[in-house]
């Protein structure tokens, strides 16, 4: 599962992306910083073991969020609130995936880095859809937030996993850092909306016990 270094021209760059990159404004500076950070992370050494880890992590956290659901199942048996929280976790993952894949990616139309930049190290599967926001990062943030509400003891581990998912998408050459940051924000927003009743459920269960 070795890296695939691709040298591609900028012919596939969308009109929207050209306007943003060429504009003399803060957006242009932000995109320039984004590209520089992408190159720095993507140019790191790519040993086979690390490649395999990030590919596995991407697959485990992609929709339907198998890793998050399995972790939720492990802790859901403890109380009714946690079982209800698990349902909300699944809803958060589903809504996050729908919004990132079918709403924001087509709307914002940002190409993947290996389609617009040169000498990109791509490991594993190279997706054919747009880049912003990262669907994996969106699901990871939604999963981490929702899981933290039903299992506060997993807070640190959940967010470490979410951070590694985001780092992995840049390391694998399929997303810019800004795609990941946008995905995290979208995922948290979705999870906050979907899981609004989890804390109330927990307090109600404690009163009944």
- Structural domains of the chain sorted by starting position, each given as residue range(s) with its CATH number in brackets: 3-208 (1.20.144)
The pLDDT of residue 204: 53
Around Cβ 208, how many Cβ atoms within 10 Å? 9
DSSP 8-state code for residue 63: T
Beta strands in the chain (DSSP E): 3-6, 120-123
Tell me the two tokens of residue 84.
Answer: 């209800």
Mark out the alpha helices in 99-134 (DSSP H runs).
105-108, 113-116
The pLDDT of residue 24: 55
The pLDDT of residue 8: 44
Cα gap 75→82, rounded to integer Å: 7
The pLDDT of residue 171: 96
Q: Give the mean pLDDT per block of 10 residues along the chain (209 residues).
A: 50 46 69 91 94 94 80 71 75 89 92 85 86 93 89 89 96 95 95 75 52
| Structure-derived torsion over alpha carbons of residues 195, 95, 66, 173, reported in degrees to the nearest 10 | -120
| Residues listed for the chain | 209
């Amino acid at each position: 599962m070795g890296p695939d270094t691709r040298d591609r021209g900028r012919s596939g760059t969308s009109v929207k992306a050209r306007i943003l990159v060429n504009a003399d404004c803060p957006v242009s500076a932000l995109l320039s910083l984004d590209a520089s950070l992408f190159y720095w992370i993507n140019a790191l050494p790519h040993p086979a073991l690390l490649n395999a880890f990030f590919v596995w992590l991407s697959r485990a956290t992609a929709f339907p969020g198998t890793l998050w659901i399995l972790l939720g199942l492990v802790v859901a048996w403890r109380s009714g609130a946690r079982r209800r929280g698990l349902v909300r976790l699944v809803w958060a993952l589903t809504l996050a995936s729908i919004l990132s894949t079918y709403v924001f990616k087509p709307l914002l139309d940002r190409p993947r880095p290996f389609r617009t930049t040169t000498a990109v190290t791509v490991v594993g599967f190279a997706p054919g859809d747009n880049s912003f926001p990262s669907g994996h990062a969106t699901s990871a943030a939604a999963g981490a937030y929702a899981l933290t509400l039903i299992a506060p003891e997993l807070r640190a581990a959940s967010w470490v996993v979410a951070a590694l998912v985001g780092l992995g998408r840049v390391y694998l050459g399929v997303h810019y850092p800004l795609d990941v940051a946008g995905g995290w924000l979208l995922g948290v927003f979705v999870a906050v909306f979907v899981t609004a009743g989890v804390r109330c459920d927990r307090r109600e269960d404690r009163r009944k016990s």
